[in-house]
Structure 1
Amino acid sequence: MTASLDVLTAAVRGWLDEPRQGPLVLGLCGAQGSGKSTLTAGLAERIGVRTAILSLDDLYLRGAARAELARTIHPLLRTRGVPLTHDVARGIALIDAIRRGESVTLPRFDKAVDEPGAGEALTGPIDLLIFEGWCVGARPQGDVSAPVNALERDEDADARWRSAVNAALARDYAALFAHIDRLILLAAPGFDVVARWRGEQEAALRDQLAATGKDVSGLMDEAAIARFVQHYERLTRWILAEMPMRADLVLRLDEERRLLP
């Protein structure tokens, strides 16, 4: 990640020098397990200005709200991750407040229990807000009728789930992502590596929880991860195909997350 951090830091320093009102809002998009958290933490430590980090993952809705989406729209919306499963209005309100220099509470989602956890106080004003997530800055697709994997074929045969997700991208999420000043894509070499990267992420979380004596029964095994990443496959492939043409910076990675020349 050192080379990626070097390139990103240089770019952000240049953007910070540009005139603006309020902090620079940096959007960082990258597939699951691509190293977004490591990169953002490194940038925050190195950049030398007051920085805050907001993850799209920390905006996940509560389980009860996702259960309601599953009941009224489609059962697949019970699983967190895709557009519609975030509190977009809260994200917009947070970024607006941070732009005004206000003190806020940044949300933090506890993936081990699949529910929001305790928030983190942020005292404003700041200079840089890093907004990171697997589909940050994503745009809707055109035709979503053809399934891209077994999950879509078998559990969304009428395309109701993926159509609702796509519509949310065109509506609420477009309003959220419009708050981004600069967009960076941490580009995986392809979707096939995402399941392995996600598995490494889950293993690290398991070790972390076990070391502190916390319950790890809610974490996923290999089969569960393989099914889980299918929820993300369509949009991840679309992002890798479409976003490089418009992102302000593209960091292309190999299978070991090393920056490609």
Structure 2
Amino acid sequence: MSPRPHAPPASGFPIVIVEAALADALDGGNRPAVLAISGLQGSGKSTLAARVVALARRRGLQAATLSIDDLYLTAAQRRHLAATVHPLLATRGPPGTHDIPLALSVFDAVRAGRRLRLPRFDKLADDRLPESGWTSVVAPLDLLVFEGWFLGTPAQAPGALVEPINELERVDDGDGRWRRGCNDALARDYPALWAQWDRLWFLQPPDFDVVVQWRWQQEQALRKSAARPGGMDRQQVGRFVQHFERVSRQALRTLPGLADRVVPLDARRQVPGQVNDT
């Protein structure tokens, strides 16, 4: 795939989008309300989630964010999967590399109004932080915004898994065992997690190819903000994104018809017809 020309990150989402997301989340009357924001890598879902939570707090509500990225299996758990199931499972992110029991226990605590700490994952260290580094939440919450790159995405039909779709699948998963395992996990384990939210929003990019550039921008920002060296170079980011391509394309095919609201984005992560604000 050919990378898109460099585009600076968007400064945020229009306030009308932020207000609409909060209103939609609270519209059902549930407390706590759970708003899910699904969007491919680098689409700005964490930015939108943070702005929704900030607006909720300004209105006197108790609100917090949780990312599916914070629910990865630990590095040791993924190394075990790599040694016993498939080497590609050492890489965080695809279905099958998340701690679903931990995720469901978090939602149980949120729904029950119990005090809790939200898990946090250190991407540069590629490992979950110890519980002492998790985020304490004032309970009970009025709103939890849950964001992630493939939230709500259904599994593919088995026949769709036969042909590899990129170099990673051709070279490192020639027999299809890894992609079938990820798809099986998506079908078996994730629907219980998808059932936890009240509303699902999908940030829709123009196509998949732009995601590589977005993810590279995200990596550069992560490295600049870190107090220690680490992270991936441009070539490593390209390979990393291939781990997500199959499910990302499935998200692009299916989520426009499944989400409660679709927010289209252009290649600069702008909402067409809207002016981004901070």
Please confirm whether the aligned pair reaches a TM-score higher than 0.5, indicating the same fold. yes
1:156 aligns with 2:169: no
- 1:176-205 Cα offsets, whole Å, 9 max, x none, are 111111111011111101111111111111
Alpha-carbon distance between aligned partners in 2 of 1:5 and 1:150, rounded to the nearest angstrom: 41
**RCO higher in structure (CA 8 A, sep ≥6):** 2
**Distance in structure 2 (CA, Å) of the matches to 1:73 and 1:64:** 14
Give the letter for the 1:19 counterpart: G
Distance 1:5 1:78, change over 3 A: farther
8 Å Cα contact 1:5-1:39 kept in structure 2: no
| Equivalences for residues 97-112 of structure 1 within 5 A | 97-112=109-124
Kindly state the Cα deviation for residue 260 of structure 1 after the two structures are TM-superposed.
2.3
Could you say if the C-alpha distance between residues 230 and 67 of structure 1 is closer, same or farther in structure 2, counting changes exceeding 3 Å? same
Is 1:186 the counterpart of 2:203 in the alignment? yes
Whether contact under 8 Å (2:38, 2:202) holds in the other structure is: yes
After superposition, the CA RMSD in angstroms is: 1.4
| Number of residue-to-residue matches in the alignment | 255
Contact kept in structure 2, 1:50 and 1:128, CA below 8 Å = yes
Q: Which residue number in structure 1 is paired with residue 23 of structure 2?
A: 13
Q: 1:86 to 1:92 in 2, by over 3 A?
A: same
Tell me what 1:87 maps to: 99
The residue identity in structure 1 corresponding to 2:26 is: L
| Corresponding residue for residue 215 of structure 1 | 228
Instruction: Report the TM-score when normalising by structure 1.
Output: 0.94
Partner of 1:25: 34
Residue-by-residue CA offset, 1:62-104 (whole Å, 9 max, x unaligned) = 1110011111211000000101111111001101110111111
The unaligned stretches of length 5 or more in structure 2 are 1-10, 274-278
Matching of residue 136 in structure 1 with residue 145 in structure 2: no
Deviation at 1:3, TM superposition (A): 4.7
Please tell me whether the aligned partners of residues 24 and 199 of structure 2 are also in contact (alpha carbons under 8 angstroms). no
Residue 121 (1) aligns with residue 136 (2): yes
Which structure 1 residue ranges, 5 or more long, are not aligned? Answer: none
The residue type paired with residue 67 of structure 2 is S
Letter in 2 for 1:244: P
Match of 1:176 in 2: 193
Residue 5 of structure 2: aligned partner: none
Identity of aligned residues (%): 46
Deviation at 1:8, TM superposition (A): 4.2
Tell me what 2:54 maps to: 45
Runs of 4+ in 1 over 4 A off after TM superposition: 1-5
> Hey, what does 1:73 align to over in structure 2?
85
- How far residue 172 of structure 1 moved from its aligned partner, in angstroms, is 1.0
CA distance in 2, matches of 1:67, 1:23: 36
The TM-score with structure 2 as length reference comes to 0.88
